[in-house]
Copies of this chain bind each other. A is one copy, B any other.
Amino acid sequence: MKSIKVGILGLGTVGGGTANVLQRNADEISRRAGRNIEVIMASVRDLARPRLCDCSSLTLTTDPFEVVNNPDVDIVVELIGGETLAKELMLLAIDNGKHVVTANKALIALHGNEIFAAAQEQGVSVLFESAVAGGISIIKSIREGLAGNRIELVAGIINGTGNFILTEMRDKGRPFEDVLAEAQALGYAEADPTFDVEGIDAAHKLTILASIAFGIPLQFDKVYTEGITDLSLTDVDYAEQLGYRIKHLGVAKASKDGIEMRVHPTLIPAKRLIANVDGVMNAVMVRGDAVGNTLHYGAGAGAEPTASAVVADIVDVARTITADPHNRVPHLAFQPDALIDLPVKSQDAFECAFYLRFEVNDVAGVMSQLSAQFADQNISIEAITQKEPKVDEDFVSVIFITQRTTEGRVNRAIKQIESMADVRKKAIKIRVEHLN
């Protein structure tokens, strides 16, 4: 039984977790894979640093190029993150005829088209299950499990930090800044939380999900991205009263006039399973024309859940290592020459329902003036609520839930309403997805 030899770039949280899982479950894994899988080498930044895993059986080096150029290594596992060095190493590994497994969502979202073309040319695999939603194996589910479907919708809670913050805001009535500080103390959020709270991390993952769902090239720059930093407890609370819950969703939708790719806070009916995914957990809903709605739930981050996906990819590579390179599962689910550059919709063309809150003077006739603007734009209203002024407030909040419409119409209505004398401040607009 030939053993498969793995070299790991980066032995931090996920790298250490991967080495641990491969060692701890070595017997179970070789019973499945039919071969031993052995980590023989790893690159680290500092040889003296304490490790999460037992390194006695592997060669450590501070030079990642040694791993990538080691002729004994069959599979390079890239876990150093970042875009520059990681990309150089990955392309060199591919050039050296090695298979690559990576958890680097930014690298795949931004440079995947180039990387996969190189891999295709060399007849090697680049697998990236751990780049999206950690241990859930959502990429495998879409790419293989739903291969018979025309995928219509992917909607996911794909950033654990953001979901932790929203869950705490709702459950404990704590403001955003307060929960963010705690998440940082707990290690859920980075010192610089921009990627998480501004939705960039989720946008990287959505880029990948949209590609494999619809057979389009990776195009991160076309994802509309809105974070959770501006979300107020007031709206979290009003949403709840109206039977909704606010989640930060990545949404990719296909319709006959194009693809929507967007990341933003979203009202979801509270009774949907995905509305009840709390804390740092991730979940992705996928709708296919044959299968209907499916939901895939699990830990989206952390050393071992991410390692679970990395190891699954390693086993997949081991299983196809002798296979015809042109008959493997294609990187982006569709054959490279069958990707279609479908039009990606701009924000004005997004189709969904909307939660809109206006702060208005409590004078007669204001509600009918507001309603008239929606009628002008042909927007149907699902529900209207007027809230009493809170203590110290001299205005009332008026909340509209629209029926499904386009964002362009809604923006035009908002512009008209904001120009009205009795309307205060900027309107609050949050998208609503019913996911039924």
Chain A 297-343 residues near chain B, CB threshold 8 A: 297-299, 304-305, 307-312, 314-316, 319-324, 326-330, 333-335, 338
Q: Which residue of B lies closest to A332 (CB)?
A: B32
Contact between B297 and A291, CB atoms less than 8 A apart: no
The reply to whether A148 and B289 contact each other, CB–CB distance below 8 Å, is no
**Min CB gap A341→B, angstroms:** 13
Residues of B within 8 A of A148 (CB): 21-22, 25, 29, 307-312, 314-315
Min Cβ gap A424→B in Å is 39
Residue A375 CB within 8 A of the other chain: no
* A276 within 8 Å of B (CB atoms): yes
By size class, the interface of chain A is 35 or more
With A148-B21, A215-B31, A330-B34: A294-B293 Cβ-Cβ less than 8 Å: no
Nearest first, the 7 A-B pairs at minimum CB distance are A148-B311, A137-B145, A135-B291, A294-B298, A31-B338, A291-B308, A295-B297
- Whether the Cβ atoms of A297 and B298 lie closer than 8 Å is no
Q: How far is the CB of A20 from chain B (nearest CB, A)?
A: 9
Is the Cβ of B330 less than 8 Å from the Cβ of A305?
Answer: no
List chain B residues, Cβ under 8 A from A299. 291-294
Task: List A residues 145-177 near B (Cβ within 8 Å).
Answer: 145-150
Distance A195 CA – B141 CA, assembled complex (angstroms): 29
CB of B288 within 8 A of CB of A308, answer yes
Closest to A295 in B: B297
- With CB as the reference atom, state the residue of chain B lying closest to A139: B145
B290 A308 Cβ-Cβ under 8 A: yes
Known: A28-B150, A215-B31, A295-B297. A290 touches B311 (CB 8 A): yes
**Contact of A327 with B334 at beta-carbon distance under 8 Å, contacts A28-B150, A291-B304 already known:** no
- CB-based contact B31/A334 at 8 Å: yes
A409 interface residue (CB < 8 Å to B): no
Q: How far is the CA of A314 from the CA of B147 in the complex (A)?
A: 9
Cβ of A382 within 8 Å of any chain B Cβ, yes or no, is no
Candidates B34, B290, B324, B334; contact of A335 at CB < 8 Å: B34
Q: Name which residue of chain B comes closest to A30, CB basis.
A: B338
Q: Please encode chain A, from 96 to 123, with 1 for each CB lying within 8 Å of some chain B CB and 0 for all others.
A: 0000000000000000000000000000
8 A–B contacts from the bound complex (CB under 8 Å): A135-B288, A135-B292, A141-B141, A141-B145, A148-B312, A271-B276, A290-B308, A320-B327
Q: How far apart sit A289 and B291, CA to CA, in the bound complex (Å)?
A: 29
Contact in complex: B292, A305 (CB < 8 Å): yes
Whether the Cβ atoms of A150 and B291 lie closer than 8 Å is no
Q: Which of B144, B294, B322 contacts A140 (CB 8 A)?
A: B144
Instruction: Assess whether A370 is interfacial by the CB under 8 Å rule.
Output: no
| Given known A-B contacts A32-B147, A137-B141, A291 and B315 have beta carbons under 8 A apart | no
Which residue of chain B lies nearest to A298 when distances are taken between CB atoms in the complex? B294
Question: Could you say which of B25, B32, B137, B295 contacts A295, with CB atoms under 8 Å apart?
Answer: B295
Interface residues of A in 260-306 (CB under 8 A from B): 271, 273, 276-277, 283, 288-299, 304-305
